[in-house]
Amino acid sequence: MSEKYSSEFKAKVALEAVSQGRSVIEKIAKKHDVSEEEIISWAAQLQDEASLIFTTETAGDADHDLVEDVEITTEDDEFAYAVGHGVMSDTLNYKKLIFWSTLGTSLVVIFVIGLVYFSQYSLFESQKQVSTNSTYSEIKELKAQQDQELNSFGVVDLEEGIYRIPIDSAISRIAED
């Protein structure tokens, strides 16, 4: 029974046998019309050579890590320097750098000072409003007390016999007399 099978077919059957175990090899053999001995042989070969799949892959990856020496000829010295050192030279414009740094710092300082003045102004205005409101409420309360005294009966001095009567009643008595 040494028929020629493709390597893909052998791999497929061997993987099926390995994944399902020895107990189903007979079913796999019938399913694919192959002898059990060949399936066992292919599975053993698969297990023996499975590690080679990964070793050939890492060998292929090693080719990517190789460094090649390349010679470049150019008349532009700046470009040649950049390629040789892996960077482009960068010349800083210190006048612009100082100008923008100073301007930015000044704007931040002005903004912070403005915030401080605004917070102080807001605090002063709120204190002024609270003071105004509290004075108004005190005056209103005093007026309510005075109105109550003017419109109610009460004792001013018990020993002297001085009593308080509502102002309307007092005006009516004076008018009667």
Residue corresponding to tokens 């002063």: 124
Helix or strand or coil: residue 164?
Answer: strand
pTM summary value: 0.31
Tell me, what's the pLDDT at 97? 93
DSSP bridge partners of 164: 154
β-strand 154-157 against 162-164: which pairing, if any? antiparallel
**Contact, 55 vs 26, CB < 8 A?**
no
Angle, CA 66 vertex, CA 63 and CA 71 arms, to 5°: 135
Per-residue pLDDT, averaged over 20-46, amounts to 81
Residue 155 has phi, psi (to 5 degrees) of: -100, 125
Question: How does the average pLDDT of the chain come out, rounded?
Answer: 82
Q: Which residues pair with 31 in a beta bridge?
A: none
User: What tens digit of pLDDT does each residue of 81-139 get?
Assistant: 777 777 776 778 899 999 999 999 999 999 999 999 999 999 999 988 888 878 888 88
Q: Quick one: which of 10, 13, 42 has its CA closest to 29?
A: 13
Please report, in angstroms and rounded to a whole number, the separation of the first and last CA atoms in the chain. Answer: 151
Question: What is the reported pLDDT for 63?
Answer: 54
Q: What are the domain boundaries of the chain?
A: 7-65, 96-144
